[in-house]
Every structure is written in C-alpha cells, then in structure tokens.
Amino acid sequence: MGLPFPIFTWWNGSTFGTWLGRRGKTRVGEDALGNLYFEGGTDPNGIPRRWVLYNGATDASRVPPEWFGWLHHQHDAVPDQSLPPARIWEKPAEPNLTGTRAAYRPSGALEAGGHRARSTGDYEAWTPDA
C-alpha cells in the first residue's frame, strides 16, 4: 500500500499522531514480539499513563501476560525487573489466531471439510411424537 496507508489506519500499526504523541514520554521496554511500551503523563486521577505501540497489526491479544499486568497497573516495576524468570515448562504467549489460517478447526467445521465422525449407538434422535 505504500507510505500513506499507515498514517490513516490504526489497525495496521501506529498512526502518525501516535508517533508524535511519544515526544517527552519514556520508553520503558520491549517484549519478545517487538512491541514497545511507554509511560508518561498522568490521567485525571494522577495515575501514570502506560501504553503499547504494536509491532505489526494492532491486536490486544499480542500483549504477553507480564506486560499486560504492567499496562494495567497490577505491578509497578517493568516485568524484566519485577517478575521471576519464566519456567522451562511455560509456553510462550501467542496471539488469538481466530480468523487466520492457523485457527483451530474441529473435525466437523466447514473450513475443515465439513465431515464429522458418525455418531455411535449412544445417540438417539429426538422426535416430537416420542
């Protein structure tokens, strides 16, 4: 689409106004997906404002849990400083895949061919006369 497309579309990344609004704000970190996290200014209640600039599509499910907690003031320190390291059995966070080719499709779904396994003998169809 070229250069003008991201200027006007918020769903395809940050708009020009968002980039201008970063002036005077503090960049506090970056996650494994390349999202940038900022803090600066205060809301009417005096709570510091925190926000994310997404690397790619603007999708809230692309914020890892540790950064979600920081964005919503569940902990004050940056996740790299306040949280313990990830355990070896923990899986990395992944975005919501609904609507993509990688989405889960059960065997009876139309996108997966529309054929499901035949019902077994424990199923009895309902009829209005019964």
pLDDT tens string 91-129: 887 778 888 888 888 877 777 777 777 766 667 778 898
Is 0.75 topped by the overall pTM?
no
pLDDT at residue 15, as a whole number: 58
Q: pLDDT, tens digit, for every residue of 48-78?
A: 889 888 887 788 888 888 899 999 999 888 8
Q: What are phi and psi of 29, to 5 degrees?
A: 175, 180
pLDDT at residue 54, as a whole number: 85
- Give the Cα separation of 64 and 62 in Å (integer): 6
- Give the Cα separation of 30 and 24 in Å (integer): 18
pLDDT at residue 89, as a whole number: 92
Tokens encoding 5:
């497309």
> CA 9: distance to chain centroid?
18
